[in-house]
Amino acid sequence: MIPLHSTVNENRRSTFTEIWVTNDVQQTWYTQYGKRIFDVAVALLVCVFVLSWLFPLMGLAICACSPGPALFIQERTGRRGTVFGCFKFRTMRHQADATFRQATASDSRVTAIGRFLRKTNLDELPQFLNVLLGDMSIVGPRPHAVAHDAQYWASISNYRYRYTVKPGITGLAQVRGARGEACLMKMRHRVKYDLHYMKRQSLLFDVYLCWATARQMLTGCTNAY
């Protein structure tokens, strides 16, 4: 794993206190209490009725396609800049101590089963365990790899504001197609979607984004590879 860049660490220590004070995201009963109830309820349902049987099946398919563990754990940034281990089904060939390199179109590292998992978002299902652990929410800004934070923390002025809430398994940016290989312009679009969601978050909005994500899983997302 790539360690968090020292500049990001320094910025976190000096600016996060200010962000909590100046952030204009309205606090409601849902954002303070209801969202966590929604998260736990949905995550428990998925773990009991989906992951309980899908996890062993996916594990066998992944390991049969390429040797290595079925689960991939990557350091990503969460609320208030804390780093946590984000769970995913492994979609690439296993390489011990590999350095971070974002997936690209026709990436030779992606396995056959991995390409299907990434196209349908099924590789993200283990993150419901992250929700139960309190690291993530069902809906929110996607957690970025630590290396991406080091790259965009200073170059996008409002980038750090997305960390005033828990990251999500899915979010408005993903539903609108702002995903895939990142560049400065695309990341700015993602951040705009993230900040817009943070100001509008509600139970109905979260339910809609969950439904829209499920629809994308069935139809396939052309921006995912």
Q: What is the pLDDT of residues 77-86, one digit of tens each?
A: 999 889 999 9
Q: In this predicted structure, what is the pLDDT of residue 30?
A: 96
Q: Return the pLDDT at 221.
A: 60
DSSP label at residue 89: E
pLDDT tens column, 124-155: 999 999 999 999 999 999 998 888 888 888 88
Domain ranges of the chain: 6-219
What is the pTM for the complete model shown? Answer: 0.86
Phi, psi at 137, each rounded to 5°: -115, 165
**What is the C-alpha to C-alpha distance for residues 120 and 107, in angstroms, rounded to an integer?**
17
CB 131 within 8 A of CB 43: yes
Q: What is the C-alpha to C-alpha distance for residues 225 and 222, in angstroms, rounded to an integer?
A: 8
Residue 52: pLDDT over 70: yes
Is 4's pLDDT higher than 90?
Answer: no
Residue type, 76: R
